[in-house]
Structure 1
Amino acid sequence: MLRQIADAAHVALVLPPVSGKPVLNPPASRQQRQSLWRLVTAYPEILPRGSVRWRVMVRLAAVVALVLDTGARTGELVRLTTGSLAPDLSTVTIVRRAQGGGSVTETVPLSPSTQLALRRWLEIRDEVVGALTGDVKALLVTVHGGGPQPADHHGPRPPGLPLSDDSLRGWYAATVAKLNEETAGQYGWWEPMPRTLEALRRGVGGKTDAAGTALTGSGTEANTATAA
Structure 2
Amino acid sequence: MTEEKPPSIRQLDALVDRLAGGVSAERAKQLRMVAGMFARAAARDVFPPSASLRVEVLFTDVLRTFWELAVAGELRYRAEDVGRPLPLATQRTVRDCLGILAGEAVPDREVWLPVLPETKPKPTVSPAEAAVLYRRLADMAARASFRDGSGLSFEDRTRLLAMVAVVLDCGARSGELAVMRLDDLGEGEATIGVRRRPQKGRGRRAEEIAAVVGVSVKTAQEVLWGRPRRISAVTQQAVLDAAERLGPPPGVETYRLREGTRVAVRRWLAVREDLVADLEGARSALWVSLRPRGIRQGGVERSWPAGVPLGPEGVRTAYARGMVALNMLMAGQYGWSPMPEKLEQLRRSVTAEPIEA
1:129–1:136: 8 Å Cα contact kept in structure 2?
Answer: yes
Label 1:132 to 1:29 Cα distance change in 2 as closer, same or farther (>3 A).
same
Label 1:104 to 1:121 Cα distance change in 2 as closer, same or farther (>3 A).
same
Matched, 1:34 2:181: no
Label 1:38 to 1:119 Cα distance change in 2 as closer, same or farther (>3 A).
same
The CA deviation at 1:146 is 2.0
Matched, 1:53 2:153: yes
The CA deviation at 1:67 is 0.7
User: Which of residues 304, 327, 348 is equivalent to 1:157?
Assistant: 304
Label 1:160 to 1:36 Cα distance change in 2 as closer, same or farther (>3 A).
same
% identical aligned pairs: 32
The CA deviation at 1:123 is 0.3
Task: Report what 2:346 is aligned to.
Answer: 200
Moved >3 Å (runs of 4+): 1-6, 100-103, 148-151, 153-156
Label 1:150 to 1:119 Cα distance change in 2 as closer, same or farther (>3 A).
farther
User: Distance in 2 between the 1:18 and 1:4 partners?
Assistant: 16
Task: Report what 2:335 is aligned to.
Answer: 189
Label 1:3 to 1:136 Cα distance change in 2 as closer, same or farther (>3 A).
same
Task: Report what 2:39 is aligned to.
Answer: none
The CA deviation at 1:120 is 0.1
SS of the equivalent of 1:193 reads coil
CA RMSD of aligned residues (A): 3.1
User: Distance in 2 between the 1:47 and 1:38 partners?
Assistant: 17
The CA deviation at 1:52 is 6.5
Matched, 1:88 2:235: no
Q: Higher RCO, 1 or 2 (CA under 8 Å, sep at least 6)?
A: 1
User: Distance in 1 between the 2:143 and 2:168 partners?
Assistant: 23
User: Distance in 1 between the 2:281 and 2:267 partners?
Assistant: 23
Matched, 1:111 2:258: yes
Label 1:149 to 1:209 Cα distance change in 2 as closer, same or farther (>3 A).
same
1:33–1:194: 8 Å Cα contact kept in structure 2?
Answer: no
Pairing of 1:206-217 with structure 2 (within 5 A) = 207-208=352-353, 210=355
1:149–1:157: 8 Å Cα contact kept in structure 2?
Answer: no
User: Distance in 2 between the 1:4 and 1:66 partners?
Assistant: 45
Matched, 1:72 2:218: no
Task: Report what 2:314 is aligned to.
Answer: 167
User: Distance in 2 between the 1:166 and 1:124 partners?
Assistant: 21
Question: Going by fraction, where is helix more abundant, 1 or 2?
Answer: 2
User: Distance in 2 between the 1:103 and 1:160 partners?
Assistant: 30
Relative to the length of structure 2, the TM-score reads 0.50
User: Distance in 2 between the 1:52 and 1:147 partners?
Assistant: 20
